[in-house]
Amino acid sequence: MLDTTIPPDLSQSLYEGFEGPEKRLEVYFYENSQDKLGLCNITKEQWQVMLDEAKCTIISSTCNEFVNSYVLSESSLFVYPYKILVKTCGTTTLLFCLQKLIENARLCNTSINYMIFSRKNYNFPDKQLYPHKNFDSEIQYLDGIFSNGNPLTLGPDSTCGDYQLVYFVKNQNNTNSNDLTAEYKTIAPLTRPENGMMDNPTVEILMSELDRDAMSHFYKTEKFTDSKTVTREVGLSDIFPHMLTDEIMFDPCGYSVNAISNANGSYFTVHVTPEPHCSFVSFETNHPNFVEDRLIEKVLQIFRPGRFSIVRSFFGTKLPVLPSQFEGFENLFESSKKFDQQFSYALNLYQSHRLNRFNAG
């Protein structure tokens, strides 16, 4: 029987507060033209060995011809042939995964092309473990692996206090060598991935101070039937109706879902921390039409945050243009940064008018 008991970190949140904001690694690898499966050759058991370093566990998995998706005890892992996304919440030690990740890439005869580590500011920074105590510590750890990292803090000095921390790396040489695997010699030509994944912008919506009625769906009460029913009833299955969802409701509260498209390999993932003293929801997708189809508004209607940020990260020059405004919210801050003339990272912060009135009073 599947164990849906809440992870140890989350069990403490009823009393102390759970760290919902995730640490996030998005990594692109050089494509080995002789192997179309790439990192999808790595088994679930091998990924678990990597995730052991972060102190999290694979709960369930789904796959299609494009991507392997894993729901974790703390968030998600998506594996494409030459790209991975892993995000972990709570007090996980995500950066400790990097050495195992590079070793897995070595097994697939490839190496890192681009690596982006990012996270929102923590709600409970004093609870974090090394190397995640603070951004300086994370930078120092990453600098010990990569020789050409670019760290950035993006956000306001005041207002709502939310900001993003980013560390970007580009491997300067089109060879199969990262600092931890310099002794490895490639036997196949490596090229920039051409599977279209680098052309799709990634959009994250990071939401706090959420409506209590909206959060009430994410508790295991006597009305709870199953996790898939929750996905349908709150409206998440309506955002991309044809995606295959894999969801879990934790006990006594908390919710995660991964969804993948059989049409183009895009994904969305949602993680909910519903307790009112630390409420947080993250929504992320790389679906190419998410912004243009005004689906951000649908997400906001489901979760009804008091404040939120939108992060857009993308390769190339085509910035996904956000609507000029979201009804009921004030745009507090917006900025963007371009790395290496190819990768851009943009942040917008919003706060509801009701919170503005409350704070003014």
Of 88, 99, 205, 174, give the one whose Cα is nearest residue 144.
Answer: 99
Of 310, 253, 264, give the one whose Cα is nearest residue 289.
Answer: 264
Is 204 among the residues known to form the active site?
A: no
Q: Which of 40, 56, 89, 97 is catalytic?
A: 89
Is 256 among the residues known to form the active site?
A: yes
List phi, psi (to 5°) of 7: -60, 155
CA distance 268 to 118: 18
E strands within 106-185?
112-120, 150-154, 164-170
Per the structure block, which two tokens stand in for 6?
């809440």
Per the structure block, which two tokens stand in for 284?
């992320």
Is 26 among the residues known to form the active site?
A: no
Of 231, 274, 237, 272, give the one whose Cα is nearest residue 255.
Answer: 272
CA distance 266 to 80: 10
* Amino acid letter, 33: S
Is 147 among the residues known to form the active site?
A: no
Cis (ω within 30 of 0) for the bond into 252?
A: yes
Is 160 among the residues known to form the active site?
A: no
List phi, psi (to 5°) of 348: -125, 135
CA distance 56 to 72: 7
Q: Which of 256, 261, 279, 313 is catalytic?
A: 256
Is 19 among the residues known to form the active site?
A: yes
Residues with Cβ within 8 Å of 96's Cβ and at least 6 positions away in sequence, in order, are 53, 54, 131
CA distance 268 to 75: 12
Alpha-carbon distance values, 227 to 16, 188, 220 (Å): 26, 44, 10
Q: Under a CB-based contact definition with an 8 Å cutoff, are residues 210 and 308 in contact?
A: no
Q: Which of 56, 69, 138, 271 is catalytic?
A: 271
Q: What is the DSSP track for 278-337?
A: S-EEEEEE--TTTTTTT-HHHHHHHH-EEEEEEEEEEESS-PPPPPS--TTEEEEEEEEE
Catalytic residues: 19, 22, 75, 89, 256, 271
